[in-house]
Structure 1
Amino acid sequence: MNDYGPFSEQQLSYYSHKIFGFALSKTTHEHNAQDLSQEILLSLYRSLLNGKKIDNMEAWVNTICRYTWSNYLAKEKRHWHYSELEPLSHLCHQDRELLKDIELDKMREEIAYLSRLHREITVRYYYEQQSVEQIAIHLKLAEGTIKWHLFEVRKKLKEALKVEKTVDQLSFNPIHLRVGHSGTPGPNHEPNSYFQSLLTANVCIAIYEKALSIEEIARKLGTASAFVEDEFQKLMKSDLVIESSKGKYRTNFMIETISKIAAESCYFKSKAEELAEEIYSCVSLSLDEIRATGFHGAQLSEHALLWTLLPYAIWEQYLRAIEPAYYEQNSPDERKDGGKYIVDASIVYSDEEYRRDLPDYEIIRKYATNGIKTRGNNLIGGVQMESWWSGMTWRNFDTSDLIDLAQAVELIESDACHNDFDKLVISRLIEKGFVSLNHGKLECMVPFFTFKQHDRLKSILEMRFEESGMTRKLEQIHDDMKALNTKIAPSFMPMKEIIYKSINDGMTIVFAVLEYLTRTGKLALPDEEEKKRLTTLIWRKS
């Protein structure tokens, strides 16, 4: 089988013309002939998928043409005044058997779409020949309830077989989701671990704008209900999918489309052009005062320090502009899987679509981030930002790294000899780019602040940002993101979800400003060695 299914390209062209000629001769109207041709081709394709040998393809194509024409005419009879309905009594035995198989395959497909209870009752009653009484005993339901379910099953199957099946785009062109999180993940890396399969993503997309039943989802995706039910177990456990009404389900997190990305990116490009140089002045003019605090790493070049202090200042002052009570009130609640997060999900498009639909794509693509990672315990804290300029990789950055660096700083301050354990710690930190060792002299290569020094750093930045009116401008970014997300979110999306997402979306200003400063030459690009430690800052909490 090749890209054209069971046919070669030449065969497909040949039979397409033949089928269209048949359809045109029957309908005498080009538009109707095109509709009929599509149905014939689809029926023909399905008939060949089971792999059965066709001795005479010409005869089989003619059979499918007549068979589909009969169904088409019956379906459209209220629109047609047509007396020709070819009887199928002349079909040979092989053709009859193949057509019977098509109907059986269709019936099996429809049964697969049924909900778990309806599937089980159907299989027990029709396939295992169990009585209503036996099924009722096994399922611990009243016999009248079983009879009612059988009636519902018959009605569903009758309607499904009578209606010409339409193919939803998701069934043959599934969508990929890029999924991350904001907040604290679950113990098994939830929610990211939930989205290892394409099916999970498309279940959530199918019910994003409209609540559907499991059967409706299965039909929309062209997959058995059993697979959908299996996905639902994990998604409902963490409230990523909820039951909005009896038997109807909807996605309970926001999914970004390219139109939302375009609107948001245009906004941040404009904001960066407005704010970047002023923010640069706030930080660069404070550099001597910050250095004077005596933090480890103060000896680093202005270029190296700005790559950490600029994004840190924007991030810190943006969050400071948001009232702590407001932030706490809208932070994620703990989920059943143990995490406290919201899902960051966006549809993945082709590079061609991004370039076509996103203005200034080469600029705004650099706003992407692999995360602003905060780590620490009650003694030490740190932040590291993954960005376009750090290589868009995932650099391991854990609390243990902070503890290791604190130990290295103690060695620097004490000038003590390094034991074997110290050497092991130092080796790990050198590999990460956090320290250097030259001629036996250990040096910190990322800004490391004591509690008082960090407190002073925040005070210096706060004063500069307040004096310039930048704090209020950063606060406005959150308000604007909240307005945008409220406008595009489905009406049933909880406001708490919208607000917390808006807070996190607002942090894009960090990377938009960095892009502007590098594009205009104010901030030189980091070299490969600097990328290891880029935008990493650590502080003691006491």
Structure 2
Amino acid sequence: MSRTEDTIYAEYLNFLYNAAAKKHIDTNDVDDVVQESMIAYIVYEKSCKRIDEPKALLNTLLQRKYNDLLRKKYKNAAVSFNVSEHDIASDDTEKEQSELLECEYENVRRQISRLIGIYREVVVRRYVHGQSVDTIAAELRIPRGTVSSRLSVGRAHIKNGITKMEKYSTESFEPKKTSLGIWGSSGLQHEPFSLLATVAEGNILVLAYDKPVSVGEIADALGMPAAYVEPLVEKLVNGELMGKTPSGLVYTRCFVQYYKDSFGDIPAQEALADKYAERVWSVVSKHMDPLTKTKTFVEMTEKQKGTMCLRFIQNVLGIISKNVLFKADYVTLPERPDAGKWLATLTVYEHDEKYNKYEGSGPVRVGYGEGDVSLCRMKDAQTLFGDAHWAYAKFRYKCSLSSILRFYASFLPCGVKPDNNLLYELIPDFEQLHILRRDENGEIKLDIPALPFDEIPAWDSAAVAAKEEVSEFLLPELSKLVDAHKNKVPPYVDRAESFIHEGALSAYVTAQLSAIVSKGIMPYKIEVGKTPIIVVAYKKHAE
């Protein structure tokens, strides 16, 4: 569009918005109707047909496009897109208009969307953020008169629902960031993670969490056309992150928590960790002592030995924490589409929210085998002690956890070969993560601990024994923290009872490890940030 056309079309848009306000077109639909009307006008104009009364044609187009929208909503036939100045275009123009659409449609839509976006932002800046007319005009680089004109139109819509406009503006221009986590295993198409392809899906789950709502209400809140929101909701319903009532209302089936509330009472957990640091270490070190005398452990580096201790304590305390939270060793997970088996939690982040040092993930369990024979396994925990599986996503090459496990195992005497040679180019990245190191001869070595399969049962048995002893003095204390932390969970959330105390002990295990390390009671030097808690187990290659 030329500068002159831009000005003219801006005037036409203003006319259309005023006309839409007089027709009481719903706020949620007005942008779509105005945009489609303007596109139809421009396409008609570019077909070299004379337009004697532009505003009369615009008004006709607006009414027809609004009728089209209503018909689509009620599943009736739509009126033809092509219209003359006062009537629908005849069939002999269909081919010509089709060719014009093919060449012009997307370009015209982009330009009109830009103009509509400016008008929408004018209203948001004025009525949501409180900016003055002069400030808006200066920052958007548009005439002051255009700002005033758009605000005049906006007031007509705001008069019918200022609450709706504010909610729309907040969600549309400042959407909340969300992330999804699961207990269990994802589906063949990486469900449920793949269901959240954009920011919109996460916000839809948030909006439908507290009570069942209509798709229209979600669309109003997000500032999106209902026609766009409907397929997103349907996808979430089919993927079992949402459900639908007999009356057509939709609701969120996964647990939703805000980031700031997801760590429980951190000071109380830190105080407990400080109180029991020596006692916890005394018990776990007693049960680990026979294992530290094995040939495998003795030959580890000091860093690897320290990592094994961290992983052992993490395992013991993790089991105890789960027992307190769920009153059982295991939570039954529901079967999902595409062979998935999971319960999901959506975490919501406020704008510019500060990172919590206790945020972590895992341990993630990954295995690799050939046929029915398991060859290697890995437990990979993301903690403040060192980056692990979160860091892999930042690599310049996309690599699966299975490929990374095979790469680690290739440095061990188990006969496993990498399936992705690009990983060799990432060796400097793994060195920065303190997962690989170079020895005195410059040879690459694994810098995380690894145990043969036949030694794993002894470590597991020691963990169970340590858990029983630690539970005697720690269980009552942890139970108090759990009982004091209660979430409001809607009854339609899958396994709602499992989430009532979710987050109560989210900081405790890492806080306990930190207390033990900071007090210097562990005999191995641990560098926080440089000691990723990753342990590999492998089947020894036949000699």
Q: Which TM-score bucket, shorter chain as reference?
A: 0.5 to 0.7
Compare 256-265 and 429-438 and name the one that shifted more.
Answer: 429-438
Question: Residue by residue, what CA displacement relative to the aligned partner does 1:1-39 show, whole Å, maximum 9, x if unpaired?
Answer: xxxxxxxxxxxxxxxxxxxxxxxxxxxxxxxxxxxxxxx
The equivalent of 2:363 in structure 1 is 372
Report the secondary structure of 2:183's partner residue. strand
Quote the offset at 1:221 in angstroms: 1.8
Structure 1: distance between partners of 2:538 and 2:455: 9
Report the secondary structure of 2:413's partner residue. helix
Compare 315-324 and 235-244 and name the one that shifted more.
Answer: 315-324
Structure 2: distance between partners of 1:319 and 1:345: 23
CA contact (8 A) 1:426 1:435 kept: no
CA contact (8 A) 1:183 1:342 kept: yes
Compare 308-317 and 502-511 and name the one that shifted more.
Answer: 502-511
Distance 1:398 1:200, change over 3 A: closer
CA contact (8 A) 1:367 1:515 kept: no
Structure 1: distance between partners of 2:207 and 2:188: 28
CA contact (8 A) 2:307 2:449 kept: no
The equivalent of 2:377 in structure 1 is 381
Structure 1: distance between partners of 2:160 and 2:77: 20
TM alignment of 1:310-389, pairs within 5 A = 310-319=310-319, 330-351=331-352, 354=354, 365-376=356-367, 379=374, 380-389=376-385
Structure 2: distance between partners of 1:334 and 1:172: 37
The equivalent of 2:462 in structure 1 is 460
Structure 2: distance between partners of 1:497 and 1:248: 19
Structure 1: distance between partners of 2:287 and 2:427: 29
CA contact (8 A) 1:182 1:343 kept: yes
Structure 2 residue identity aligned to 1:387: T
Quote the offset at 1:490 in angstroms: 2.2
Structure 1: distance between partners of 2:8 and 2:482: 52
Question: Residue by residue, what CA displacement relative to the aligned partner does 1:267-305 show, whole Å, maximum 9, x if unpaired?
Answer: 5334433444433333445554221133x3533355542
Distance 1:162 1:462, change over 3 A: closer
Compare 333-342 and 470-479 and name the one that shifted more.
Answer: 470-479
Report the secondary structure of 2:245's partner residue. strand
The equivalent of 2:510 in structure 1 is 511
Structure 2: distance between partners of 1:516 and 1:306: 14
TM alignment of 1:370-519, pairs within 5 A = 370-376=361-367, 379=374, 380-391=376-387, 393-395=390-392, 398-399=401-402, 402=405, 408-410=411-413, 432=430, 433=435, 439=441, 445-467=447-469, 469-470=470-471, 473=474, 477=478, 481=482, 484-485=485-486, 487-494=487-494, 496-499=495-498, 506=505, 508-517=507-516
CA contact (8 A) 1:408 1:426 kept: no
Structure 2 residue identity aligned to 1:120: K
- Greater helix proportion: 1
Quote the offset at 1:109 in angstroms: 7.7
Distance 1:226 1:275, change over 3 A: farther
The equivalent of 1:118 in structure 2 is 73
Structure 2: distance between partners of 1:320 and 1:262: 17
Report the secondary structure of 1:174's partner residue. coil
The equivalent of 1:177 in structure 2 is 178
Structure 2: distance between partners of 1:275 and 1:330: 28
Q: Structure 1 length as normaliser, TM-score?
A: 0.59
Question: Residue by residue, what CA displacement relative to the aligned partner does 1:327-366 show, whole Å, maximum 9, x if unpaired?
Answer: 6863322211432222232112234x54xxxxxx8xxx11
CA contact (8 A) 1:298 1:447 kept: no
CA contact (8 A) 1:381 1:402 kept: yes
CA contact (8 A) 1:176 1:348 kept: yes
Distance 1:284 1:330, change over 3 A: closer
Quote the offset at 1:242 in angstroms: 0.4
Structure 2: distance between partners of 1:109 and 1:471: 70
CA contact (8 A) 1:237 1:337 kept: no
**Structure 1: gaps of 5 or more residues:** 1-47, 72-95, 131-159, 355-360, 412-417
The equivalent of 2:309 in structure 1 is 309
Structure 1: distance between partners of 2:317 and 2:206: 35
Distance 1:335 1:401, change over 3 A: same
Quote the offset at 1:385 in angstroms: 0.8
Quote the offset at 1:190 in angstroms: 2.3
Q: Does 1:53 align with 2:53?
A: no
Report the secondary structure of 2:339's partner residue. coil
The number of equivalent residue pairs is 410
Distance 1:310 1:103, change over 3 A: farther
Structure 2 residue identity aligned to 1:298: V
Structure 1: distance between partners of 2:182 and 2:62: 42
% of aligned pairs identical? Answer: 18
Quote the offset at 1:252 in angstroms: 0.8
Structure 2: distance between partners of 1:99 and 1:268: 70
The equivalent of 1:227 in structure 2 is 228
Distance 1:229 1:517, change over 3 A: same
Quote the offset at 1:206 in angstroms: 1.4
Structure 1: distance between partners of 2:56 and 2:264: 52
Report the secondary structure of 1:181's partner residue. strand
CA RMSD in angstroms comes to: 5.2
Q: Structure 2 length as normaliser, TM-score?
A: 0.59
Report the secondary structure of 1:526's partner residue. coil
Structure 1: distance between partners of 2:77 and 2:484: 50
CA contact (8 A) 1:317 1:471 kept: no
TM alignment of 1:200-349, pairs within 5 A = 200-258=201-259, 260-261=261-262, 263-286=264-287, 288-294=289-295, 296-302=296-302, 304-319=304-319, 330-349=331-350
Structure 2 residue identity aligned to 1:499: S
CA contact (8 A) 2:319 2:467 kept: no
Report the secondary structure of 1:514's partner residue. helix
